[in-house]
Amino acid sequence: MAEKTEAKKELEREYVIPLRKNWNKVPRYKRANKAIRTIKEFLVRHMKIRDGDLNKVKIDKYLNEFVWLRGIRKPPARVKVKVKKEGDIVKVELAEITKSLEFKKGKLEKREKAGKKEKTKEDKEEKTPEKPEEQKTEEEKQEEKKEVEEKKSAVIEAGGKMEKAAAKTMKHQTKMSKQPKRQRRMALQK
Asked if 32 and 68 touch (Cβ cutoff 8 Å), the reply is yes
pLDDT in tens, 96-121: 888 888 888 888 888 888 888 777 76
158, burial (CB in 10 Å: exposed 0-12, middle 13-18, buried 19+): exposed
39, burial (CB in 10 Å: exposed 0-12, middle 13-18, buried 19+): buried
Task: Please report whether residue 48 resides in a domain.
Answer: yes
Task: Please report whether residue 25 resides in a domain.
Answer: yes
> How confident is the chain (190 residues) per 10-residue block, as mean pLDDT?
57 94 94 95 90 91 92 95 92 90 87 82 63 67 89 90 87 67 72
Range of the domain at 53: 2-100
Task: Please report whether residue 120 resides in a domain.
Answer: no
pLDDT in tens, 32-45: 999 999 999 999 99
Task: Please report whether residue 171 resides in a domain.
Answer: no
Task: Please report whether residue 181 resides in a domain.
Answer: no
The pTM for the full model equals: 0.56
What total number of domains does the chain contain? 1
Q: Give the CATH number, domain containing residue 36.
A: 3.10.440.10
For residue 1, the tally of other CB atoms under 10 A from its CB is: 4
Task: Please report whether residue 165 resides in a domain.
Answer: no
Q: What pLDDT, on the 0 to 100 scale, is given for residue 177?
A: 59
